[in-house]
Structure 1
Amino acid sequence: MIDLHEFLDKLNPNQKINYDKILQKMIKNWQLTTTRPKILLHSCCAPCSTYTLEYLTKYADVTVYYANSNIHPRAEYQRREYVQQKFIRDFNEKTGNNVRFLAAPYAPQQYFEAVRGLEKEPEGGDRCRACFGYRLDLVAAKAVELDFDYFGSALTISPHKNSQVVNSVGIEVQNFYTTKYLPSDFKKNGGYQRSLEMCREYDVYRQCYCGCLFAAKQQGIDLAQIRREALAFMQDKDGSTEFPEIKFVYHDEREQVE
């Protein structure tokens, strides 16, 4: 697999990096070598995964890893997880793709430890960088465990997320693992606008805050109301039983079935 350092090392260290162009070069190399890599893609919500999956599935086999213990409250985390699963199921049915879904355990205390001391940082500041690092570290570790070729994130589709920061964190995380980081800037080339279109096409719930307690408070979000709405939405819903066809199956589970 291609290490993005093959491209980064040729650049002027002071220049702003176009991560979208680097991804395009990597894709061209996959095509030249008739390679279809396996990507473990971090996704924080269905809206961020829309165009991202539409784009990547043309060239790679993708599994979405829902690793977002930053989301508060728990009921909202569960709602976003359910909507993410439903979108993947609907996307597969409409496009003929075979995207899989995997979720990390909900462990909010780990997130609070990761951002300890940064609670009052503004949105987009050091707290967000620590949060990116916490989640991408989980994705990279899981990518190694499950033998994926690349790990990456759909976060770069959001105009509210700094793609330079997300990618620089991903590159730092790569240095500790035997897997490769997938650079991206999915908002480019009309990606964000396409994500809005796809949310309408698939009737996808779009949340009003990134997910974390601290950003919600800074924005004046009524978290009690969010919780009530999420609990009402999730009544009689269970993604694990409703969408079993998208579940990522571990090797030992496959052996048991066979």
Structure 2
Amino acid sequence: MNKINYNLEMEKVLKKINKEEKPRLLLHSCCGPCSSAILERISDYFDLDIFYYNPNIDSKDEFYRRSDEQIKLVEDLELDDKIDVKVIKYKHEEFLSYIKGFEKYEEGGARCFRCYRQRLEKTARYAKENNYDYFTTTLSISPHKDSQFLNRLGKFLAEKYKVNYLFSDFKKKNGFKRSVELTDKFNMYRQSYCGCEFSRGED
């Protein structure tokens, strides 16, 4: 199967946007560091809000430590337009129920794909119910995440919920490198594992 250049697909969309009439976009964010370079890159094109829904994170302390960093980042970036960070209540049991039977799959495999599906589906549903024009996720900025799968999943959910998915591969154009630079600049907490107890065990 030929790989699609999803960064190019995103750039085609951005070129068509009238910045005087910005479409609304709901950005699912896994954490502040991963969102940093993405916000810097696309915030001029969208009326953007952040959807912090990450039930995969293995403890309440870790969950809120990351959400606090997300909120602080938005303030530190001092972007022109206000961004609302929607922190969805921590319910780790939702994740454990959703991936039941997949616990022993290796990192980057079927368990992770279930996790992506859970988080993106909730984002798509919220985007539809709250009249956003687009939704997307920060997950593709990670060198460890499969952007081809993420974008196919986004397309499937876009068709299911009748809301546009912003195709993207945010690691392109040095996106991940820039996120590390911004993390250092703002002295942010950057976690050493994806979030769930299973990924922690595989470090």
Q: Secondary structure at the match of 1:62?
A: strand
Q: Secondary structure at the match of 1:176?
A: helix
Deviation at 1:65, TM superposition (A): 0.4
Within 5 Å, give how 1:134-145 maps onto structure 2: 134-145=118-129
The structure having more radius of gyration, on CA atoms, is: 1
Q: Which runs of 5+ in 2 are unaligned?
A: none
Whole-Å separation in 2 of the counterparts to 1:38 and 1:201: 28
**1:174 corresponds to which of 155, 158, 161:** 158
Q: Secondary structure at the match of 2:108?
A: coil
Residue 23 (structure 1) aligned with residue 7 (structure 2): no
Q: Secondary structure at the match of 2:17?
A: helix
**1:129 corresponds to which of 113, 127, 146:** 113
Whole-Å separation in 2 of the counterparts to 1:96 and 1:148: 20
> Which residue does 2:131 correspond to in 1?
147
Contact residue 91 and residue 97 of structure 1 kept, 8 A: no
Q: Which string of whole-angstrom CA distances, capped at 9 and with x for unpartnered residues, describes residues 23-42 of structure 1? A: 000111214x9641110000
Q: TM-score, normalised on structure 2?
A: 0.96
RMSD over aligned CA atoms reads 1.3
Contact residue 41 and residue 154 of structure 1 kept, 8 A: yes
Whole-Å separation in 2 of the counterparts to 1:168 and 1:127: 17
Residue 211 (structure 1) aligned with residue 195 (structure 2): yes
> Which residue does 2:39 correspond to in 1?
53
Whole-Å separation in 2 of the counterparts to 1:216 and 1:78: 17
Q: Which string of whole-angstrom CA distances, capped at 9 and with x for unpartnered residues, describes residues 112-141 of structure 1? A: 121111101111101111100000011011
Deviation at 1:96, TM superposition (A): 2.9
Q: Which runs of 5+ in 1 are unaligned?
A: 1-13, 220-258
Whole-Å separation in 2 of the counterparts to 1:159 and 1:218: 17
Q: TM-score, normalised on structure 1?
A: 0.76
Whole-Å separation in 1 of the counterparts to 2:124 and 2:59: 25
Residue 195 (structure 1) aligned with residue 182 (structure 2): no
Q: How many residues matched?
A: 203
Deviation at 1:175, TM superposition (A): 2.1
